[in-house]
Structures are given as C-alpha cells and as structure tokens.
Amino acid sequence: MNPEAKELGVRAAFVEGGLVPGDVRIADGQVSEVGVDPGPAARGTAVPGFIDLHINGFAGVDFLTAEPDDYATVGRALAATGVTAYLPTFVTSPLDTYDRALRTVSEVAPDAGPRVLGVHLEGPFISRRWAGAHDPRYIQEPDLALAGRLCDDGPVRVVTLAPERPGGLELVEHLTDRGIVVSCGHSDADAQTAHRAFDRGARAVTHVYNAHRRWQPRDPGLAGAALVRDDVTVQAIVDDIHLAPETAYAAFLAARERFSLVTDAIAAAGLPPADSRLGHRNVQVRDGEVRLPDGTLAGSLLTMDQAVANLVAKGASLADAVHAASRAPALLIGRPELGRIAVGHPADIVVLDDDLRVIRTLVRGEEQGTRRQSGVPSPGSSSSSSSSRRL
C-alpha cells in the first residue's frame, strides 16, 4: 500500500450507482481502493461530490462583482454543502461587467477549494418575454461576433440562450462548434424550435418549467421537447418554491438519469436572511424566497445538499438523487472523470450521515470546510419552503 494512502473512515460508498459496503482508500488525490474493511469508528456514507452548474453567488459573494480572493470564501462555504465543483453563473448584464468578471475567474487559483469548472453565461441572448429577473435593458440580439468575444474573454463553458430569436439557431451551432455547452432557457421556443436547437447541438434546458414558454396540451414548448429526448439534460431547481413538489418529481420521473439538480443560488444563500443583490438588481429575501420588488422570483437560497434531500423526500432513491447532483452535471459539462467514486478517479467525495447531512467534503482528496466552520445553515433551516409559486 502507498504509505501516503489514507482511509476515508466511512461504512459504505456509492460506487457507480451501487452501494458498496466498506471504506474508501485515497492516495495522491485519487481513489485507490473501495470496499476496504472499515474501522470501528467508521461513520457515514461516501457519495460523489456535488456539481452545481448554475449558481450566481453564495455566502455574501455575487460572482459578477467578485474578486479572485472571494472565490476562496465561496469555496469553503460551498464545500460545507457538499459542492466539489461548480460554474459561477453570470446573469444578463452590461457587457463591460462580463469582461471584468470573466477575467477574474481566469485568475482564480485552480487548486483552491472546489473546482471552478468555467463560467455559465445565463444570457445575454435571451427572450425579453421570459427575462425573469434578468434586466431587459442588457438583453442582446444573437450575435456570433459578440458571443465569440465573450467566450474569448474567459473560460465560458455553458451559455443559456433563447433559440427562437433571429439568429438563435445559428448561435447554437456556433457555440457548439467551439465546444461550449448550450442550454435553452429564458425562451419562448415552441417544441418544434426546441427540437431544432437540440438537433443543432443544444444539450440542456436551464431550469425546467421556469422562465420559458408554458406547457400546453398542443404546445408543450421547450419542456416538452427536452423531456422526451434522450440526448437532453433536464436541469431543475428543486426547492419547493420554483416548482411544486409534484412538478419536480414528475420531471424527474420523465428524465431519470438525465435529470440534473441546480440551485440558481444568489449571494444571500448560506447566510442569515437579508436583502441582497443579483448582478445589478436589488432583491428581497422573505420566507426563504428571493424576489424582485415586483414579486418576480430572482434565484434561490437553495443548497445542493438540500436539493438532494428534497428530491429524496419526493420519492427518488438516494442513488438517483446523488446521480442528479453529481454524475448528470459532470457528463453534461464534459467532465466524465468527475461525479463518480471509482478507482483511479479524483477523490472529490462527500460523506453524508443517515439524515443526509454533510459530515465531510474532500476535493482532490483534501479536506474542505465544515458547516460549523462556514456558518452555512443546515438543510431544512431556511432554504426550502412549501410554497409552489413559480416564475
């Protein structure tokens, strides 16, 4: 055995979707063995680290205005919720704001805390009708040159756009050719247009049933197209606020292994309730909900561990919920080495207790911040609600 190897100290681990009794051994930042005889003090279950592909901010930091050092603060807080990798998300904003924010991400230390996998541009090529909390003043017409410039300014990995807009389908193809994941959202696309976008390379729906054309019996829109295609990842905000419990669970039952949890969290998440900002807009935090002054939902206070617990509470197995928080986003982002516990793969691991609370989080085999150290509230304290009001 490698003298530098160490045991995780767990009773069991989810390995390739199945529960394997025994401990996990780690060496050189990777999983070196599973099913190791656990010691008498072993506790908890190891699951793959959670990956959040849609998060605007956390722990008082809005990513649009963050400095490089702020990512260390966010990383510690996110690790306490089980996040081992994420995409800072930028809402529709003035173009010069994008330039600075993209450069900042490029300066973040690559080995500090949870992995920053790149950037998710949620806009600016979206629908004015379905702008949601995005400021319509900064929405742009689909433009290949502008999109190319933004992607040249920093590590853009995902772009949310509205494919029905003039030039939208061409933009889908252009971004896909650059290796960027296109997700359809904030869109008035009908099902036919959505299918065309997916045929041209779009691979996801950003937050199903939120901020896009409503499902109707003869016009199922973007959601209808996404749910019936086996090549599309269905992302959802499972906080019992953006979606009714039945709506979220029905989407999961339809999509199964293509269902992916996201938080859409803002800077106020992980902190005691207080008004905050989303990009350039003031938002109000009331009863676990985040809204613009006019009542429009504006992101969430959700954490990934709470999203996992919420999905399990609706009827999903823990294995399926963990898949939705780890493996599904890893495959969407083109990082197949992540979101799994397997020999030879990165030791990005979360240890859960029997109540699905995060006990420990490791990234590259190294311990990250605990919930007590970060001050992030425990699941169930403030990030979910029984409300079913939607965008």
Same domain, 62 and 77: yes
CB burial class (10 A; 0-12, 13-18, 19+) of residue 272?
Answer: exposed
Task: Tell whether 234 is covered by a domain.
Answer: yes
Same domain, 39 and 120: no
Active-site pick, 135, 153, 264, 348? 264
Is 264 marked active-site?
Answer: yes
Helices 304-313 and 318-325 pack at an angle, to 10 degrees, of 150
Same domain, 316 and 355: no
Q: What is the pLDDT of residue 24?
A: 98
Same domain, 207 and 86: yes
Q: Residue 23 contacts by C-beta under 8 Å, 6 or more apart in sequence?
A: 7, 8, 9, 10, 11, 13, 35, 36, 37, 38, 39, 42
Q: What is the pLDDT of residue 177?
A: 98
- Nearest Cα neighbor of 185 from 93, 96, 123, 261 is 123
Output the pTM of the full model. 0.94
Asked if 352 and 44 count as a contact pair (C-beta separation under 8 A), the reply is yes
Question: Dihedral sign, CA of 285, 388, 87, 324?
Answer: positive
Q: Which domain holds residue 352?
A: 6-47+340-370
Asked if 182 and 120 count as a contact pair (C-beta separation under 8 A), the reply is no
Residue 26 has pLDDT above 80, yes or no: yes
Number of structural domains, the chain? 2
Helix, strand, coil percentages, rounded to 5, for the chain? 25, 25, 45
Name the band, by pLDDT with cuts 50, 70 and 90, for residue 373. low
Residue 120 has pLDDT above 60, yes or no: yes
Say which DSSP state 138 is in. Answer: G
Same domain, 183 and 307: yes
Domain of 13, CATH number, reads 2.30.40.10
- Nearest Cα neighbor of 196 from 206, 211, 182, 208 is 182
Q: How many CB atoms lie within 10 A of CB 11?
A: 17
Asked if 298 and 134 count as a contact pair (C-beta separation under 8 A), the reply is no
Q: Which residue has the higher pLDDT, 21 or 382?
A: 21
pLDDT in tens, 173-225: 999 999 999 999 999 999 999 999 999 999 999 999 999 999 999 999 999 99
Q: 309 phi and psi, to 5 degrees?
A: -60, -40
The rounded distance, in Å, linking the Cα atoms of 12 and 23 is 6
